[in-house]
Amino acid sequence: MSSLGGGPPLDEGDLPVAIPEPVDPADVARSGVGTDEWVARVDERRAAQTGISGLIARTWERTPAFGRLVILLGPFAIFPFITNEGNLYRYGLITIIYALLAMGLNVVVGFAGLLDLGYVAFFGFGAYLYGIMASGHSGHHLQAEIAIPIVVVSTALLGLLLGLTSWRLLGDYLAIVTLFFLQAFVIFVNNANGGLNDFSYPFVGKVDLTGGANGLDQIDPFNFFGFHITTTRGYYFYTLIALALLMVMLYFVNGSRTGRAWRALREDPLAAEVMSTPVNRLKLLAFMFGAGVAGFSGTIFGAVQSGAFPGDYDVGLLITIYAIVILGGLGSIGGVVVGALVVNGAPELLRSSSNARFLFYGVLLVALFAALKPWYKAVIVLVGTIAFGFAVHGIASAVWSRGTAGHISGAGNFGKALEHWVLLPTNPSSIAGWSYFALICAALVLTLVSGWWRVAVLIPTFYLAAFVWENKLVEQVAGATRLILLGALLVVIMNVRPSGIFGTSRVEIV
């Protein structure tokens, strides 16, 4: 001030300073997306993230990239030495194949922001193409070091072709084209067995390409320069190394010119185009890259299963892979690994119904205490639900004897205790159906109420959930129930935390 010369320095108090109005803390929390202030306060909020989650988040950010890779994949490297072959396949190998697949999808959806709903078809295409080149079914036995590059390149080219068709409209229409492509792929492989109804190809006539509905069997194990991979453990390490290499590659791509351009076009394609980013070319590149990774994963899956079967490459798998990417956080490399672990591990545990029971109640309990603050409300809900259950059970046993006649088999003391708490009608089909409907309604009502009303609604909702679980959902844990939960998970994550577990929250400046 004094440098301006003239006059005594003004006292701060003389200036007409606007007195900041007291801000309602709720307003600050709500202001969220769309204001510059929200951006400016990002460090403040990070510092405010105290407690265990804050500590973990800060430590994670300080860890160098290589350290993160070791933390994420280290346990996977140890896993084969502490488990048997069967568990290594179910929990280990399938999880990392899913992680590999999801890593490719992450480039398409997370980096470039394209909704590729035919991704699983590229995975299947890889498995089938490898099978055609190297299997007892087709009669060719190509070496893996030749077959795998051919598969990866042709899958990427197929992706390019498919992407080119919607070249001018690579937005929503890509979702339709790819979804239909998946459907077309499944129809094709189901029927291309050279049978009566199959195409007659020019020059060669009818050929048995895919084995039709029975699948393409006797696929060769990988044969690299005469060295055969035959054990699950061998495939496990092969896939793990591939996954690690891909993660390292994506880490560098992410920071590269291309990676930054991808993120730019994900955030705002129009703005990116105005900045003379070649938008369509970059989108196609991402799409091709994803397809190539899927084809590569397909060869592993085909060789591991020693067969390719049409039923494996359907919408169920697509949803699984999407759930992995979204749970882990769109665009997050490490998140995908955690997502794969959760999404593949949990349903594998669900396969036996007594494990599934513990998992179900465990998840409910954890969710209750994580979501309902302050803690005493959660305790009230817990105690309330238990008391509510015994009350309902008591009343029902007096007036509706059929309602408590059922039994839970094979769950030990926990199951016996449950029999005294949850209603188990002898013929639950119809009433469980209506309860399922009521449960959905109750869950939706929960999103509309708040405060103590939420506590009040939660108690019957939890009991209803237990009732539906024991009488209906537990029957089909490996099939419909799993996909119902994954579907609900996608909707819930999108509504509650669109950035997933590890994704960075996105800032939209309007």
Partner 1 sequence: MNWSLFFGELVSGLTLGSIYALIALGYTMVYGILKLLNFAHGDVYMVGAFVGFFVLQWLGGALSPAVTGWLVVAIMFVVGMLACGLLGVGIERFAYRPLRNAPRIAPLISALGVSIFLQNSALLLWGPQFRSYDTFDLVGVKSYHIGNNFFISNLQILTIAVSIGLTIVLALVVSRTRTGKAMRATSFDRDAAEMMGISIDRVISFTFFLGSALAAAGGIMFGLVFGQIFSLMGFTAGLKGFTAAVVGGIGSIPGAVLGGFLIGLTEAFATGYLPGGSVYANLYVFALLIGMFLIRPSGLLGSPVIQKV
Under rule CB under 8 A, residue 488 binds partner 1: yes
| Binding range to partner 1, per CB under 8 A, among 99-107, 166-174, 232-240, 420-428 | 166-174
| Binding range to partner 1, per CB under 8 A, among 162-170, 237-245, 296-304, 458-466 | 162-170
Q: Can you tell me which of 69, 105, 151, 326 binds partner 1, judged by CB under 8 A?
A: 326
Q: Is 223 helix (H, G, I), strand (E, B) or coil?
A: strand
Nearer of residues 309 and 436 to partner 1, judged by Cβ: 436
Instruction: Name which of residues 93 to 112 contact partner 1 (CB under 8 A).
Output: 109
Instruction: Name which of residues 465 to 484 contact partner 1 (CB under 8 A).
Output: 472-473, 476, 479-481, 483-484
Instruction: Name which of residues 16 to 35 contact partner 1 (CB under 8 A).
Output: 33
Q: How far is it, in rounded angstroms, from Cα 372 to Cα 88?
A: 37
Number of residues that make up the chain = 510
Q: Can you tell me which of 204, 270, 370, 398 binds partner 1, judged by CB under 8 A?
A: 270
Q: In which region does residue 473 sit, left (phi positive, over 0), alpha (psi from -120 to 50) or beta (all else)? A: alpha
Under rule CB under 8 A, residue 486 binds partner 1: yes
Residues 6+ apart with CB under 8 A from 150: 129, 133, 142
How many residues line the site for partner 1 (CB under 8 A)?
A: 57
- Work out how close the CB of 204 gets to partner 1 at its nearest, in angstroms, rounded to a whole number: 14
| Binding range to partner 1, per CB under 8 A, among 18-26, 128-136, 138-146, 494-502 | 494-502
The pair of structure tokens assigned to 222 is 């990988």
The pair of structure tokens assigned to 135 is 């299997």
Binding string, residues 169-208; x marks residues near partner 1 by CB under 8 A: x-xxx-xxx-xxx-xx--xx-xx-----xxxx--------
For residue 469, CA distances in Å to 282, 305, 388 come to 46, 33, 17
The pair of structure tokens assigned to 39 is 């951006």
Instruction: Name which of residues 211 to 240 contact partner 1 (CB under 8 A).
Output: none
Q: How far is it, in rounded angstroms, from Cα 425 to Cα 374?
A: 36
Q: How far is it, in rounded angstroms, from Cα 98 to Cα 437?
A: 32
Binding string, residues 418-457; x marks residues near partner 1 by CB under 8 A: ---------------x--x-------x--x----------
Question: Is residue 422 within 8 Å of 466, Cβ to Cβ?
Answer: yes
Q: How far is it, in rounded angstroms, from Cα 272 to Cα 283?
A: 12
Other CB atoms within a 10 A radius of the CB of residue 310 amount to: 23
Look at residues 122, 114, 98 and name the one whose alpha carbon lies nearest to residue 328: 98
Tell me the longest C-alpha to C-alpha distance in the chain.
102
- Work out how close the CB of 507 gets to partner 1 at its nearest, in angstroms, rounded to a whole number: 11
Q: What residues are paired with 509 via a beta bridge?
A: 34
The pair of structure tokens assigned to 401 is 């004897």
Question: Would you give the distance in Å from CA 412 to the centre of its chain?
Answer: 33
Nearer of residues 179 and 456 to partner 1, judged by Cβ: 179
- Work out how close the CB of 256 gets to partner 1 at its nearest, in angstroms, rounded to a whole number: 23
Under rule CB under 8 A, residue 255 binds partner 1: no
Q: Can you tell me which of 85, 416, 498, 509 binds partner 1, judged by CB under 8 A?
A: 498
List of residues contacting partner 1 (CB under 8 A): 33, 109, 113, 115, 117, 165-166, 168-169, 171-173, 175-177, 179-181, 183-184, 187-188, 190-191, 197-200, 270, 315, 319, 322, 326, 330, 433, 436, 444, 447, 472-473, 476, 479-481, 483-484, 486-491, 494-495, 498, 506, 508
